[in-house]
Amino acid sequence: MDPLTASTTIARPREEVFAYLLDVANHPEFTDHYLVDWHLTREDSVGRGAGARYKVKRPRNRFGYADITVTEVDAPWRIITQGRGGKYNRNRQLAVYELQPEHGGTRVEYTVMAEATMPTDRFLESFGARGWYKRKTNKALRRLRSILEDGEGRGQRATVAGR
């Protein structure tokens, strides 16, 4: 899938937004409408090396599990996560959160890229996956803004598997 970018402006200081996004356990709060069954991959959910496994709730998605790991942190500007998903975890994923100060708030730009390795994966991806991900990602950023600005819409935080 070609890079997909969505953005929003949040009326909170950049450092606060960055701290919230750096904690992987917070991500289910604003993405649980399409990413479900979150489990942390280690007890410390903050910073470089923190990660989680989740399931993508997309129609006709037989191999929906994926994982992410925070691989690069450039405080308070950028968070980069890498992961794998799909059948046998063979499809690579890269996601970047970039935060810029804007009019007393923070502009969050989220870019996600996925690389399907097999022709069959690329074929299945061609059936509306990009539009579906774009809609869900935009909704996730609206929910993120609502959580950080108003404290509304908070969902479940991720926990370590088995807890």
Q: What is the pTM of this model?
A: 0.89
Q: What is the pLDDT of residues 122-147, one digit of tens each?
A: 555 655 677 888 999 999 999 999 99
CA proximity to 1, closest of 149, 116, 132, 156: 116
Q: What's residue 124's pLDDT?
A: 58
Express each pLDDT in 11-62 by its tens digit.
999 999 999 999 999 999 999 999 999 999 999 999 999 999 999 987 767 6
More confident residue, 91 or 128: 91
Q: Look at residue 163 and tell me whether its pLDDT is greater than 60.
A: no
SS3 content of the chain, % helix, strand, coil (to 5): 30, 40, 30
pLDDT of residue 129: 74
Residue 1 has pLDDT above 70, yes or no: no
Q: Is the pLDDT of residue 156 over 80?
A: no
pLDDT at 155 over 90: no
Domains of the chain and any CATH numbers: 4-160 (3.30.530.20)
Per-residue pLDDT for 91 more than 80? yes
pLDDT for res 154: 76
Phi and psi at 161, nearest 5°, equal: -55, 135
